[in-house]
Amino acid sequence: MKTPLALAITAAAMTATSAVAQEPQYGGVIDTVIQPEPPGLVLGMIQNAPTRTVAGNIYEGLMRYTTDLEPIPQLATEWEVSDDGLTWTFHLREDVTWHDGETFNAEDVVFSADVFHRDLNPSARAVLQHIESIEAIDDYTVEFTLTEPFGPFPLSFEAGTFTMVPEHIYAGTDFRNNEANNHPIGTGAFKFDEWDRGTVIKLVKNEDYYEEGLPYLDGINWHIIPDGASRAIAYENGTVDVLPYGTVENFDIPRLTEMDNTCVTEEGHEYFSPFAMLWMNNREGPTADKRFRQAVMYAMDREFARDVLWNGLGKVPLGAFGSNAKFQNDDLEPYDHDPEKARELLDEMGYDGEEVRLLPLPYGETWTRWAEAVQQNLREVGIEVTTEATDVGGWNQRLGEWDFDLAFTYLYQYGDPALGISRTYLSSNIEKGSPWNNVEGYENEKVDELFNEAATAYPEEEREALYHEVQEILQEDVPVGWLLELGFPTVYRCDVKNLVTSGVGVNDSFKDTWLDR
């Protein structure tokens, strides 16, 4: 079922595309919001979503990604890969300067990837495991040598992983206490201007930007408004022009989209493809029984959740692989809403009404409502559920210590199963202390084998076969509940043009954006 809103979005996206033909105008400042207030703006040092969103305009990586997740040039003009898939050579642009006027060169790339991110950035460390060396061949050529072929490597240059930071500022310093952290220096189309804590972060146009004629805007103001209802009002009364995903409650979106001059897009999240899941503790209690987990899948009315809570945005997933992920297996048997079947499964396993604890995700009203809906769904097939509210700190700790039966979460898929999906199911990823690894405690040797093989298999066809096989096993075992591939809508005024031009959406630069006013 598609709601009118979902249709509206498709239509809006189409008009947005056709508008590209117009001649861009210069000038104007765009007002948008950021939620929550980021802790800092130096990417790599901080990987929070709000930091990425703001700093994506200040910092750049070697490549960008289209909405189909194809790499396109940014700081690297071109790159080549050796036939064995082990050596990647990047040729850098030669006309790039940092915001402080220093020249950007290969030393910056080597420093960023090999020193800065290795020290600070866990996402980068995950990729660095597969890298043997990073060397500057000359001032504008860098060579990455992998230990084995690593399928997702070309997707690692998104701003959150290997973003470029200035070597001349950070080399040899205590990164975290560097003065420059308060005044981040990047190569992007916008420069840091001012941060009035609790109120606004201001970026201004980088007049010396190396891409001819860009950016169009004079600046960006990221307003900090902690209350969702206030953010919606800020859009309604014209204070802000863009509401990036997650900044307004889903319930407000239908009302906002009915306003004049308002467009919505779900694009820009292809790289992340946020996937909502229900952790189910595979170690103990009723949830350790496969039949119980299947029953949960049948009991949940995921269509209802999508239509009521998410305004019809997003997709009910087939199984462990999202539809944006590569290598989805379409032949799997879907778990439809079927309470009768759920009850049968529970009878079959002899569920005795043991209480099951549910942890909602403390990320706002929609998630709270969703937990209430799931709780009710499960109660109706006879599962005793108690919701245990936590805040972010409590949620992190409970998951990190595996102290839960059912728990909501959502995970980014990062475009490639080896980056975003396998981490949830590999038994080598079972480790206390993190809410992002194999928290459910699923252990299956076959699955481990298939995922590991697929990550380094070459070429793509071979990977596909392995991934298809692993999906069939997962579909039967249901290590976690697959809730929804989230649709993250961005609401904006239609006269804001070229807002989303890449697969990382508003996390990418606003350099192509212009105001038709």
Footprint of other proteins on residues 83-122 (CB under 8 A)? 120, 122
Query: How far apart (Å, rounded) are the C-alpha atoms in residues 317 and 304?
Result: 14
Q: Contact region for other proteins (CB under 8 A) — 106-114, 320-328, 363-371, 454-462?
A: 363-371
Minimum gap (Å) between residue 201 Cβ and other proteins:
10
| Buried/exposed 135-160: b ≥16 CB within 10 Å, e otherwise | ebeeebbbbbebeebbbbbbbbbbbb
Residue 59: closest CA among 148, 150, 121 = 121
> Given the complex with other proteins, which of 291 and 398 has the nearer CB atom?
398
Tokens of 469: 């096989």
Q: Contact region for other proteins (CB under 8 A) — 53-61, 79-87, 94-102, 194-202?
A: 194-202
Alpha helices in 131-173 (DSSP H): 167-170
460-477 helix and 445-456 helix, angle to the nearest 10 degrees: 160
Q: Contact region for other proteins (CB under 8 A) — 84-92, 150-158, 277-285, 365-373?
A: 365-373
Within residues 244-263, the interface with other proteins by CB under 8 A covers 249, 251-252, 254-255
Minimum gap (Å) between residue 289 Cβ and other proteins:
24
Within residues 205-244, the interface with other proteins by CB under 8 A covers 221, 223-230, 232-234, 236-237, 239
Within 8 A by CB and 6+ apart from 355, the residues are: 384, 385, 386
Minimum gap (Å) between residue 145 Cβ and other proteins:
23
| CA of residue 401 relative to chain centroid, distance | 24
Please tell me whether residue 185 binds other proteins under the rule CB under 8 A: no
Structural contact between residues 250 and 311, judged by C-beta atoms closer than 8 angstroms = yes
> Given the complex with other proteins, which of 384 and 495 has the nearer CB atom?
384
| Buried/exposed 6-18: b ≥16 CB within 10 Å, e otherwise | bebbeebeeebee
Minimum gap (Å) between residue 283 Cβ and other proteins:
20
Q: Which of 107, 135, 372, 464 binds other proteins (CB under 8 A)?
A: 372
Minimum gap (Å) between residue 163 Cβ and other proteins:
14
Position 241, amino acid:
D
* Residue 99: C-alpha distances to residues 50, 66, 192, 277 (Å): 21, 26, 9, 41
Q: Contact region for other proteins (CB under 8 A) — 123-131, 138-146, 321-329, 334-342?
A: 123-131
The C-alpha angle 313, 318, 386, rounded to 5 degrees, equals 75
> Given the complex with other proteins, which of 127 and 318 has the nearer CB atom?
127
Please tell me whether residue 179 binds other proteins under the rule CB under 8 A: no
| CA of residue 96 relative to chain centroid, distance | 28
> Given the complex with other proteins, which of 13 and 233 has the nearer CB atom?
233
Minimum gap (Å) between residue 230 Cβ and other proteins:
4
Within residues 27-56, the interface with other proteins by CB under 8 A covers 29, 31, 36-37, 39-40, 46-49
Contact letters for other proteins, residues 276-315 (x by CB under 8 A): ----------------------------x---xx------
Structural contact between residues 48 and 39, judged by C-beta atoms closer than 8 angstroms = yes
> Given the complex with other proteins, which of 200 and 430 has the nearer CB atom?
200
Structural contact between residues 4 and 311, judged by C-beta atoms closer than 8 angstroms = no
Within residues 374-433, the interface with other proteins by CB under 8 A covers 375-376, 379, 386-398, 400, 412, 431, 433
Structural contact between residues 305 and 373, judged by C-beta atoms closer than 8 angstroms = yes
- SS3 label, residue 503: coil
> Given the complex with other proteins, which of 29 and 349 has the nearer CB atom?
29
Within residues 466-495, the interface with other proteins by CB under 8 A covers none
Hey, how many other C-beta atoms are within 10 angstroms of the C-beta on 406? 28
> Given the complex with other proteins, which of 221 and 282 has the nearer CB atom?
221
> Given the complex with other proteins, which of 249 and 477 has the nearer CB atom?
249
Minimum gap (Å) between residue 217 Cβ and other proteins:
13
| Count of residues that bind other proteins according to CB under 8 A | 76
